């Protein structure tokens, strides 16, 4: 199976006054195309910093990051922005939807930056919203949707450009338990359709959906274990 992510000896340092805080201390990580991985760790483990690097929201202090065959570790901000739009679908805890914009236009937004025509954007957004169960909510704005529906819009937006990876950061953090189950079932389906899914979470219940759990501690990989999924 081909690798979609290859990380070698990644470090990330941050200045704090006159000192340098070493947050990531030499991480190696491979993720195959089509894997479902949970990234876990306590506060201060480096989990959020690693997520920002995986999502090309930040660059490492040293080491290399190959994403879908491209070395993104030394790219400029503009190059990283293009990679984020093309290769990574983000699902955030807080949804990050435009409040005055319909579900259809929220989902289609990444295609605007990718240069697609209005008709192409609409057709693809309608297809994606149908696939995430919102065919009857396309013209609704976020304040007309439930929390679970808003997260479905966010998942649709993440899928719109057929990215190499879906990166979900605490995707159920703002949802009740019943809605959380629905969203995780949707992510399970997205993975079953052939997508690479990385879920960043502190909840064991959520991590059990993945085939593999990578745990961080003190800026290093503490364990990397494959598992039989509890949920189908």
pLDDT of residue 230: 56
pLDDT of residue 228: 78
- Of 155, 170, 57, 147, which Cα lies nearest the Cα of 106? 155
Tokens 């879920």 correspond to what residue? 199
Total structural domains in the chain? 1
d(CA 179, CA 165): 23
String of DSSP letters for 99-167: TTS-HHHHHHHHHHHTT--HHHHHHHHHHHHHHTT-TT-TT--GGGS-HHHHHHHHHHHHHTT--SEEE
Q: Count how many Cα atoms sit within 13 Å of the Cα of residue 170 in the half-sphere of its side chain.
A: 12
pLDDT of residue 45: 93
Q: What's the whole-model pTM score?
A: 0.92
**Could you tell me the residue range of the domain that residue 153 belongs to?**
35-54+76-226
The CA-based angle 219-10-50, given to 5 degrees, is 55
Tell whether 176 is covered by a domain: yes
Percent of the chain as helix, strand, coil, to the nearest 5 = 35, 30, 35
Reduce the DSSP state of residue 223 to 3 states and report it: strand
pLDDT tens for each residue of the chain, 232 residues long:
699 999 999 999 999 999 999 999 999 999 999 999 999 999 889 999 999 999 999 999 999 999 999 999 989 999 999 999 999 999 988 889 999 999 999 999 999 988 899 999 999 999 999 999 999 999 999 999 999 999 999 999 999 999 999 999 999 988 999 999 999 999 999 999 999 999 999 889 999 999 999 999 999 999 999 987 654 4
Tell whether 11 is covered by a domain: no
CATH of the domain at 188: 3.40.50.300
Tell whether 15 is covered by a domain: no
Q: Count how many Cα atoms sit within 13 Å of the Cα of residue 230 in the half-sphere of its side chain.
A: 9
pLDDT of residue 229: 65
Tell whether 169 is covered by a domain: yes
Tell whether 211 is covered by a domain: yes
* Pairing of the two strands 70-71 and 19-32: unpaired
Tell whether 85 is covered by a domain: yes
Cα 142 to Cα 9, 20, 154: the distances in Å are 41, 41, 10
Q: Angle, to 10 degrees, between the axis of helix 147-159 and the axis of helix 177-192?
A: 20
Tell whether 188 is covered by a domain: yes
Tell whether 71 is covered by a domain: no
- Of 19, 12, 16, which Cα lies nearest the Cα of 54? 12
């Amino acid at each position: 199976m081909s690798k979609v992510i290859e990380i070698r000896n990644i470090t990330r340092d941050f200045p704090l006054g006159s000192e340098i805080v070493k947050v990531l201390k030499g991480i190696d990580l491979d993720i195959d195309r089509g894997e479902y991985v949970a990234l876990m760790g306590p506060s201060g483990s480096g989990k959020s910093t690693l997520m920002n690097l995986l999502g090309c929201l930040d660059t490492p202090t040293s080491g290399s990051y190959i994403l879908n065959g491209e070395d993104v570790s030394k790219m400029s901000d503009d190059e990283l922005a293009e990679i984020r739009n093309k290769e990574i679908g983000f699902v955030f805890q807080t949804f990050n939807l435009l409040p005055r914009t319909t579900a259809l236009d929220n989902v289609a937004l990444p295609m605007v930056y990718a240069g697609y025509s209005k008709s192409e954007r609409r057709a693809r957004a309608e297809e994606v919203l149908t696939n995430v169960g919102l065919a009857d909510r396309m013209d609704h704005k976020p304040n007309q949707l439930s929390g679970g529906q808003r997260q479905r819009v966010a998942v649709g937006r993440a899928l719109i450009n057929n990215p190499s990876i879906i990166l979900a950061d605490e995707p159920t953090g703002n949802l009740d338990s019943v809605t959380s189950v629905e969203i995780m079932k949707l992510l399970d389906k997205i993975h079953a359709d052939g997508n690479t899914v990385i879920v960043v979470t502190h909840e064991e219940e959520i991590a059990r959906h993945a085939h593999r759990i990578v745990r961080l501690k003190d800026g290093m990989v503490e364990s990397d274990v494959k598992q039989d999924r509890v949920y189908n």
